[in-house]
Chain A
Amino acid sequence: MKRDVLWRIEETVMRVLMIGATALALGCLALILGAVVWKGLPAMSLAMVTQCPQGGYYTGAGGGILNAILGSLYLAVGATLVALVLGLPIALYLQLYAGRSRLIEFVRLALDVLWGIPSIVYGAFGFGLMLLIGLRASLLGGIIALSLVELPIMCRAIEEVLKMVPFELTESAYALGTTRWEVAWKVVVRQALPGITSAILLAFGRGIGDAASVLFTAGYTDHLPTSPLRPVASLPLAVFFQLATPFPSVQQRAYASALVLTAIVLIISVLARLASTRLSRFVVK
């Protein structure tokens, strides 16, 4: 009887702790978003998002972070395209062409390992690679490093989606005498398109927020990107550099830049969710 009571107490205590732990994590999310909005909104202005930094910007003169916003978009779009072009075939191959051979297990393991490699290591590797081919910090270099970061994220997300394609669908296509390529391209990719769209957006969202990989590979500049061989600014680095200045008015702009970055990431993540739910009415259930 006594043990019974102890169990009940333990049950209640643990249940409270468990809910508390989950609530704490969500509370941190609210705190982060709250802090960014609360600090960023007062520093926000039209000039921030429509102008490039003017002379003396980093000591408090006028201007905005249009260079970083556009730079980040260029970098992330480029890297996402590269990652998609490389990642989609890898995922299709793993899911459709290869059975459960030892080699496939190995490739999958390699992908998981790639997923875990820190982005600063990709940045350092990308930089080494650029030195090797005589490329300086540039949009192109940033795209290369960033696509390495995005590739495993993209592969993993697409593979998850491909797994959901009903077995019967591919089987009936095969029964009609199609080749694997036709099944992959005309049936599976089409069926999985909503999920693939959301995987692309997921990788894009990760890419646009990643700072460590573009730190040396993309450089930083106050000008708009004009050529793939010129350095390019990015939002995460804009936050970082502006926060590192000793001037409060410039630090304010770091808050505003963080708000812009967070807003982009949030919008992307909502779009990703919408893509996987809204677009799913176009697929075979």
Chain B
Amino acid sequence: MGAAVLVLLISAGLLVRAWPILRSQPLKELLLGRTWHPMQGAFGFWPFIVGTLWVTAMAMAIAVPLCTLSAIYLAEYAAPGVGRVVKPLMDLLAGIPSVVYGLWGVLVVVPLIREHVGPWMDRHLGHIAFFSTSANPTGYGVLAGGTVLAVMVFPIIVSVMEEVFRSVPDGLREAALALGVTRWIMVRKVLLRRAFPGVIAAVVLGFSRALGETMAVLMVVGNVPQVPRSLFDAAYPLTALIANNYGEMMSVPLYDAALMAAGLLLLLVVLGFNLLAQLVLKRMGKVA
């Protein structure tokens, strides 16, 4: 019971702290406003919301196909021995602190993007704004943030998906295989269809996890409050906004309320996504 109360308490607590700004500014201005000048009383979250979405979408674009493949392999193909080796390693990956991910991003991912990926993309696809590095050749940006996040959410998505695939009854598999199809065809035509809601739920869980990740993203994403246009542009996600500004916010009126509102926004989005995913997973569990 305490747990449920705690969820409400946290939402209520943030709401109370965010109330001054919610009352002084219309919600539309707050969410869709493009200017962030706390000193002048302009609190537009739009660049940060878009920044969060860009980085998270990037991470999911990288992670989801790989996770699906990996989860299918672990659930359907791999010998039990392989699972016994891979599982603890995945747990290890899940347990690495986010600052260490961030450090890895700074040391490995950012230079890789700056030296190789960026120039290559710019040379071949640079005429499309989406792939251009001209605005920001430093390597710190959406792609770096997305890559680091993708690795971070990988173990979470894989473990949920694997469970989903395992919950599909064997009878279905056997029926398909008995018709003489290869194992992959069975996976594609039977398993994936049956497990589809669960796969989506796993993706949503990973998405909401990625949405809330702070330190690792903060360290590699560039932190420029703008609406990114290219893969390589710097972004400034909501989480980074909160983390970067908490120290000095007390001196500017409404600043702390604005940051609390950012926290509340994050909480509500994550809450919604999580509820959705959990409900789907529960229903799946009952059907299967």
Contacts and interface: CB of A to CB of B under 8 A. Distances in A.
A25 B215 contact: no
Nearest to B65: A21
Contacts of A266: 92
A118 B102 contact: no
A110 B270 CA distance: 13
B264 to A, nearest CB: 8
Interface string A25-41: 11011011001100100
Interface residues on A, range: 35 or more
B175 interface: no
B61 interface: no
A262 interface: yes
Contacts of B267: 117-118, 121
Contacts of B247: 216
- Size category, B interface: 35 or more
Interface stretch (A43-51, A172-180, A189-197, A236-244): A236-244
A123 B80 CA distance: 40
A269 B263 contact: no
B271 A113 contact: yes
Contacts of B205: 116
B252 interface: no
A233 interface: no
A274 to B, nearest CB: 12
B86 interface: yes
A9 B96 CA distance: 38
B99 A124 contact: no
A205 B108 CA distance: 24
A270 B111 CA distance: 32
A250 interface: no
A120 B243 CA distance: 7
B1 A107 contact: yes
Contacts of A148: 6, 10
B17 A128 contact: yes
B36 interface: no
A32 B95 CA distance: 12
Contacts of B108: 31, 35
A215 interface: yes
Nearest to B262: A124
Nearest to B88: A273
A219 B14 CA distance: 20
B204 to A, nearest CB: 10
B129 interface: no
Contacts of B125: none
Interface string B135-165: 0000000000000000100110010000000
Contacts of B273: 116
Interface stretch (A55-63, A221-229, A253-261): A253-261
B42 interface: no
A283 interface: no
Contacts of B70: 18, 21-22, 25
B107 interface: yes
Contact of A211 (B7, B95, B97): B97
A125 B246 contact: no
Contacts of B7: 110, 113-114
Nearest to A264: B97
Given A7-B182, A120-B239, A211-B99, A25 B106 contact: no
B198 interface: no
Interface string A127-157: 1110100000000000000001001100100
A11 B186 CA distance: 10
B230 interface: no
Given A120-B266, A205-B95, A107 B4 contact: yes
B97 A208 contact: yes
A100 B57 CA distance: 37
A25 B93 contact: yes
A109 B100 contact: no
A18 B104 contact: no
Residue in B13, B89, B97 whose Cβ sees the most chain A Cβ within 10 Å:
B97
5 contacts: A7-B184, A107-B4, A110-B7, A113-B7, A215-B246
Interface of A: 7-8, 10-11, 14-15, 17-22, 24-26, 28-29, 31-32, 35-36, 39, 86, 90, 103, 105-107, 109-114, 116-125, 127-129, 131, 148, 151-152, 155, 202, 205-206, 208-212, 215-216, 236-237, 239-240, 243, 254-255, 258, 261-262, 265-266, 269, 273
Given A107-B4, A236-B98, A258-B103, 16 more contacts: A25-B90, A31-B104, A32-B104, A39-B107, A106-B4, A111-B3, A114-B7, A116-B205, A119-B214, A121-B14, A128-B16, A209-B97, A212-B239, A212-B243, A240-B215, A262-B96
Shortest 6 CB-CB distances between A and B: which pairs?
Answer: A118-B212, A209-B97, A18-B73, A110-B4, A21-B69, A212-B214
